[in-house]
Amino acid sequence: MASSNDKPVNYSRRFFWLLLGIVAAIALYSGGWYYAAGKVGERVQTAVDGANASGRRANCESLEVRGYPFRLGVFCRSVMFEDPKAAIRFQAGAFRSAAQVYQPNLVIGELDGPATLETPGIPTLDLKWESMRASVRIASPLPERVSVEGRNVEVRLDEPGDVPPLLGRAGHAEFHARPDADAGYDLAVRFNELRFDPNFVGTDKLPPLAGLADFFVERWQSGGRESSVNIRNLTVSIDDKGSGAEVSGPFAVGIDGLIDAELQVKVRNPRALGELLVSLLPAYREQVELAVGTIAMLGEEPTFPLKISRGKVRIGFVSLGAIPPLF
């Protein structure tokens, strides 16, 4: 039998306080999100304003921070950067980014085309793609990792006309960078289904290419432009012939632009590769046939040293000509 001293439980009051606590938590979280969003917007605008210094121009059109309740992301209707002194200009379509509130250091971004790129030494380029995505793991003073992935990337010359001249297109392309604040940069590039326009390369005999580049780049030395690269693996494959080449070894560019390198080269199916090179470089037929004949005597997948000294290229005692200064 229940005691007469027992008091009935007031469930209505408990539910009220629980509901009030939930509402307060949501209000606090919302206030914190909008405060953080405001700070992100201020930082981005400060970065844009800082880029608009010393004659440079940058813009994130219609800057907004979105993603409530679980993400923080910067949105721009279009993006632009211009540095007249360096002769660099880039302009593209809408930019979107997002970071989870519980993992704010990992930022995912998307960029819409088309884009226009101007850099020294090459004509202005028009770029298009089906998708262009990037991920950045933020750290200080440099990002811990940067990755960019593009699908169906197309490159054309920016010239008048309804259809600008096509240079080439790639079905898939990736770029990865991992900076080291004290040493340099680990870089990697991968691509497949790379096709060059016959009008650009001067022949329709170049098949689709696939490739991988994995290398380490030291920082520019103070007082000059001298730099060195350690090529861990540079591979180019000809998709439909089963041939290609792999390169590894140190590679340096002096302050005069001349190259020095001590490379190891592995060639797969050298005779097929030689036939392709002759069709692409008919003016160097004799040099190519001599080099390929020498390599082919070593087997179907020979490995041999290739030396570049002050721009002069040699395989053993065979001279392959000279590479002009890069700048």
Categorize the per-residue pLDDT at 119 as very low, low, confident or very high, splitting at 50, 70 and 90.
confident
- The answer to whether position 26 is within a domain reads yes
pLDDT at position 132, please?
Answer: 95
Measured distance CA(40)–CA(68) in Å, rounded: 13
The pLDDT mean for the chain works out to 85
The share of the chain scoring above pLDDT 90, in percent, equals 38
pLDDT at position 223, please?
Answer: 45
The share of the chain scoring above pLDDT 70, in percent, equals 91
Instruction: Output phi, psi for 313, to 5 deg.
Output: -100, 130
Q: What is the DSSP-derived secondary structure letter of residue 324? A: P
Residue bearing the bigger pLDDT, 214 or 159? 214
Burial 191-224 (b: 16+ CB within 10 A, else e): bbebbbeeeeeeeeebebbbbbbbbbbeeeeeee
- The answer to whether position 161 is within a domain reads no
- The answer to whether position 304 is within a domain reads no
Sorted by sequence, the CB contacts under 8 Å of residue 199 that are 6+ apart come out as 165, 166
Q: What is the domain extent for residue 35?
A: 19-122
Q: Number of structural domains, the chain?
A: 1
Q: Tens of pLDDT along 59-91?
A: 999 999 999 989 999 999 999 999 888 788 999
Res. 5: pLDDT tops 70: no
The kind and range of the H/E element at 194 are strand 184-196
- The answer to whether position 209 is within a domain reads no
pLDDT at position 169, please?
Answer: 93
- The answer to whether position 30 is within a domain reads yes
Measured distance CA(206)–CA(168) in Å, rounded: 12
Sorted by sequence, the CB contacts under 8 Å of residue 23 that are 6+ apart come out as none
Q: Tens of pLDDT along 186-214?
A: 999 999 999 988 888 777 878 889 999 99
Cα dist from 4 to 7, 8, 9, whole Å: 8, 10, 14
pLDDT at position 151, please?
Answer: 95
- The answer to whether position 36 is within a domain reads yes
- The answer to whether position 208 is within a domain reads no
Res. 128: pLDDT tops 70: yes
Q: Tens of pLDDT along 242-280?
A: 788 899 999 888 888 888 999 998 888 888 888 778 877
Res. 225: pLDDT tops 60: no
Measured distance CA(147)–CA(136) in Å, rounded: 7
Nearest by Cα to 61 from 105, 92, 83: 92
- The answer to whether position 267 is within a domain reads no
Q: Tens of pLDDT along 33-49?
A: 999 999 999 989 998 88
Measured distance CA(74)–CA(110) in Å, rounded: 11
